[in-house]
Structure 1
Amino acid sequence: MEANHESSKTKRETRVAKMFQRNLEGRLKAAEPAEGGTSKHAMGVPLACSLCAGQSRSGVHTPRKGGLQQVFVPVVDKNQVPLMPTKPSRARRWIKEDKATPFWKKGVFCVRLNVEPSSRKTEPVVVGIDPGSKKEGFSVKSRAHTYLNLEADAVTWVKEHVKQRRQMRKARRFRKTPCRANRSNRSIGGIPPSTKARWGWKLRICRWLKKLYPITHFVVENIKAWTKRGKRKWNKNFSPLEVGKQWFYRELNRLGHVITKQGFETKEIRGRLNLPKDHWIDAWCLAYSQVGGALPDNRNILGITPLRFHRRQLHALQPSKGGIRRPYGGTISLGFKRGSWVKHPKWSLCYVGGFLKDRLSLHSLVDGKRLTQSAKPEDCKFLTYSSWRVRLLPTLSRGVSAAQI
């Protein structure tokens, strides 16, 4: 029974991903993207929760039956100062009247005003953050509306990468290579690399959201390590979590006022509103505890996954014959920065991975799978750069029914 449920869940997710990819490829002909949003028809990111099936000539997406409708459009002024989001219809009218310019910001469709706004009055906008070991939830909300729901994949691979790097360094000491003296621990503030990467990823998302919305508060679920009395070794292993958390709070205080909530408080709010358990719902409940309001009017979920880069790997694990080692690592592939979104005549919208000789490797923006290893650089049109990929997460296939929210 459980296996059948998982199989049907996977099939639904696959159908949604295919539908999203077809709609996305159809929109590429209607809008030419540009980096930084300088073009009037800027488009470069498959924002799942903000796109819809059709697109007008002005570059703003118009809803069609069965499409993915954008509920709210972030607005910034000439100096990139975020204002209150607006409705797609109003943004469409602004662009048509040349009062605003459309652009994309890490996957979110936005507009930049070309004229002085009629009002700079803003309401309190809160971001709820639900940390997790594998998945993390973010929700941007004011009292009146829910602007954006995110579910991010946590950074979980740094610990194994550091371990592998240490093993390769030890192996090189047995070969005839120059030897350097051991260096002291260069970790910032005593935070291990894996812990710093986990909390740094959350901070990157918060800084990205701060550029889109006039955020005033961040409400974070305060996770705590389970300690044991008299067990020094057990308790010591959790100290990096506390150190990383406090570092995150200090950095987040520079962006806005930070409020912490305990896990049982989040559960109490979720139970009072009769909402199911999910990362983005917990994040929404945290934001709700600060500003209140009605149930979420935006139920779309944007999933984001950080890309993995081998920035500098001097030696491969297995040397080739003759002692000649191929270069590995780096972030540039034949003039393209890895992670760049490009438009290819055959594979449509995708992002750049590695390269082999004079050919590029292209990957899908939906699931990250490699599409080809033989793409010519001259066939790829650069759109924009991003260090993560985005896709639509279907709500109904995640055990959350429309009636529950």
Structure 2
Amino acid sequence: MAPTFVGYPKVFVVDAEGKPLLPCHPARARKLLKSGKAEVLRGSPFTIKLKYPVSTPVGSLRAKVDDGSRYVGIALVNEHTGEVVFRGVLVQRGDVVRLLTLRREYRRGRRYRIVRHRPCRNRARQQVVPFPSVRQKKEAIYRVLADLAKIAPISGVDVELVSSGVKNPALPGKSTREKVLNRDGACVLCGSTRRLQRHHLVPRSKGGTDTPENQVLLCAECHRKLHAGGATLDRRGKTFAWVAHAVLGKAYLLALLSRFGEVRVAEGWQTKEWRESLGLPKSHTNDALSLFLPGGPLKVFGPEYLIWPLRRRRWEGNPTKTCEEKNGFRHWDVVRAVRAGKVVFGCVRSLKARAMTLRTAKDDNFEVSYSKARLLHRPRGLAYMPVW
């Protein structure tokens, strides 16, 4: 059964002692605010704080994570009622490798510039596993869930792990060789059934996977001609490079997610079957909310969010950030702007003399006027931007 999408979002609630409660209807939150029984705690996601403690909170939510290399789908689902109270896409940082390389070059330059040269000490350092570029992506997922756990009662996590092995049951056969042989049956160029060999569309040396999607069946003669340049094959393979970061940190991610309770793991082909049973298109949030479907129909509340993990350490005297605040706006502020009669939500990217640019869902450099923008939320460690 297809899920029902509701336009208004659920309001997160915490009591006077900071314990997270189940989200409530916006009308109920409005009455609590008007009567003075609650106050606004944060703007995005919108959360209110009660002025009295709740001794016996009822209910819990389950976090759903669709892990990925660049984008990670996250959802909070009440499995008893089928309500999806939060869904968003975490945009992972892609500059960590470049910054680590730059830091290494700075260290090397400082070491060789001093008069009294000291020997290199990097061989005495222990290698951190997983690598820092991989570890920061897994820790970013944990940062988002830890932040949501402050306003939502999370009792467990369901996660889809990226896999590069032979896991797809759609093709008959146990091994990769059997799956390719049963799928093609003969040489894809000449149709011969003698002296068949497997050919990797993307070579393993260039990041190609050993999955059936990256292999085709060729006869020995066509295989030789293809490598010699005498034949062409109009097919695209599957590379392993885009899933390298997601695959390497599986154990580290599961260890982090176990802090929230029970962790259930699913494969990609299972998520696809669950998502297609709901009739949803392919997206990161749809994959996340489809994990381990509850018994009843799903009811999705509110908009989808784009989440950016901000850098924890500020670079004092950064020459590229000469303007910290202008006309009451700062970098990464979530604003609501109007341009050409259309309402746009975005995060502040740059502050110019006459206008500022925003990161939006469709444009990473959207320019708006200061007078046409209104501040909605000032993030501290994570920037949540609604996508209406």
Q: Does structure 1 residue 278 correspond to structure 2 residue 283?
A: yes
The answer on 1:389 being equivalent to 2:377 is no
Is 1:130 aligned with 2:54? no
Structure 1: runs of 5+ lacking an equivalent:
1-67, 314-325, 344-348, 376-380, 395-405
In 2, Cα distance between equivalents of 1:187 and 1:104: 41
The percentage of counterpart residues that share the same residue type is: 25
Aligned length: 303
Describe the shift of the 1:181–1:92 C-alpha distance in structure 2 as closer, same or farther (beyond 3 A).
farther
What secondary structure is seen at the aligned counterpart in 2 of 1:190?
coil
Change (3 A) 1:331 1:168: same
Alpha carbons of 1:164 and 1:300: their partners in 2 closer, same or farther (altered >3 Å)?
Answer: same
Q: Which has the higher contact order (CA 8 A, sep 6+)?
A: 2
Write the distance in 2 (CA, Å) between the matches of 1:217 and 1:193.
Answer: 26
Report what 1:266 is aligned to: 271
Name the aligned partner's letter for residue 139 of structure 1: A
Match of 1:305 among 303, 308, 311: 308
- Residue by residue over 1:269-302, the C-alpha shift from the partner in whole angstroms, topping out at 9 and shown as x without a partner, is 112222211110000001x53x343133326211
TM-score by length of structure 1 reads 0.60
Q: Deviations over 1:2-25 (max 9, x none)?
A: xxxxxxxxxxxxxxxxxxxxxxxx
Q: Does 1:198 align with 2:137?
A: yes
Number of the residue aligned with 1:74: 12
CA distance 1:69–1:122, shift in 2 (3 Å): same
Instruction: Name the CA shift for 1:168/1:201 in 2 (closer, same or farther; >3 Å).
Output: same
The Cα RMSD (Å) is: 4.8
Q: Answer yes or no: is the 8 Å Cα contact 1:311–1:329 preserved in 2.
A: no
Q: Secondary structure at the match of 1:293?
A: coil
Within the candidate set 28, 39, 48, 1:111 is matched to 48
| SS of corresponding position for 2:88 | strand
Asked whether the equivalents of residues 187 and 193 of structure 1 are also in contact (C-alpha less than 8 Å), the reply is: no
Instruction: Tell me whether 190-199 or 68-77 shows the greater mean CA deviation.
Output: 68-77
Q: Which amino acid aligns with 1:257?
A: E
Out of 134, 140, 151, the position equivalent to 1:212 is 151
If the length of structure 2 is used for normalisation, what is the TM-score? 0.62
Relative to structure 1, the CA distance from residue 352 to residue 150 in structure 2 (aligned partners, 3 Å threshold; closer, same or farther) is closer
CA contact (8 A) 1:339 1:386 kept: no
Matched, 1:256 2:261: yes
1:342 & 1:296 partners in 2: Cα distance? 27
Comparing 142-151 with 166-175, greater Cα deviation is found at: 166-175
**DSSP 3-state at the match of 1:127:** strand
Residue among 155, 160, 165 paired with 1:221: 160
Q: Is the 8 A contact 2:63 2:158 kept in 1?
A: yes
Between the aligned partners of 2:289 and 2:267, the Cα distance in structure 1 is: 14
Tell me if structure 2 keeps the 8 A contact 1:71–1:147: yes
Q: Which has the higher strand share?
A: 2
Question: Secondary structure of the equivalent of 2:259?
Answer: coil
- Distance in 2, Cα, partners of 1:272 & 1:342: 35
- AA partner of residue 53 (structure 2): E
Structure 1 contact 155–201 (Cα < 8 Å) conserved: no
| Residue 151 (structure 1) aligns with | 89
Question: Is 2:60–2:155's contact at 8 Å kept on the other side of the alignment?
Answer: yes
Distance 1:327 1:391 in 2: 25
Q: 1:134 to 1:270 in 2, by over 3 A?
A: same
